[in-house]
Structure 1
Amino acid sequence: MNMNMQKMNMTLLDMIQRWDPFGYGSNAYETEAVDVLQAVHEYDEIKPLARKIQAIYEFSFEEIIPLEKCMKIAEELLKVKNETECGV
């Protein structure tokens, strides 16, 4: 794994953990953050990624995050991913 990829993963993970969609504090989402990070690498479009994020959190917390909220974080995460990939 090159340095850019490692740095990108750290940035994405930080963004995901700080997101805190349920207000439980950023430490409450470690496994979800890793799952979302994996999803960011699998998806290149906002809506499919947003749906995946929604499903990950719903599975863990049995609460649904509105899709608009998921779309917003998905867009931010993909922006970081795309900037890093274009810069390599």
Structure 2
Amino acid sequence: METAMMNLLLADELNEWDPFHIGGGSYDTEIADAIQAVHMLSDEMKLAERLQSIYEFSFEELIPFENCIIVAKKLLSIKNESSCAL
């Protein structure tokens, strides 16, 4: 799978997450930062911490870490499936 397709899948997953229940399409900046983090990190705990930090910075509200772990696992699964296809 090419990087562009992987990024679309990651963006779809993050749009579905909607941690603050404000509707998909409301997180463009955070999604871009989160996708960059997925490319840079391979550890789910570190990715979860980064996700929590990205969204907290924008919304000044802390997402429960457990929720970030769940999403981090899904994102890394997409990343790992993508790299296996190469």
TM-score bin (small chain): over 0.9
The code of the aligned residue for 1:65 comes to I
TM-score (norm 1): 0.94
Quote the offset at 1:27 in angstroms.
1.7
The code of the aligned residue for 1:23 comes to H
In the other structure, the counterpart of 2:3 is 5
State the alpha-carbon separation in 1 of the partners of residues 68 and 80 from structure 2.
18
Segment drifting more, 70-79 vs 7-16: 7-16
State the alpha-carbon separation in 1 of the partners of residues 15 and 34 from structure 2.
10
Aligned-pair identity (%): 47
In the other structure, the counterpart of 2:70 is 72
Higher-RCO chain (CA-CA 8 Å, sequence separation at least 6): 2
In the other structure, the counterpart of 1:55 is 53
Segment drifting more, 50-59 vs 21-30: 21-30
| Structure 1: segments with no counterpart, 5+ residues | none
Q: Where has structure 1 moved over 3 Å in runs of 4 or more?
A: none
CA RMSD of aligned residues (A): 0.9
Q: Where is the helix percentage greater, Structure 1 or Structure 2?
A: 1
| Structure 2: segments with no counterpart, 5+ residues | none
Picking from 26, 29, 32, the partner of 2:27 is 29
Picking from 66, 83, 86, the partner of 1:85 is 83
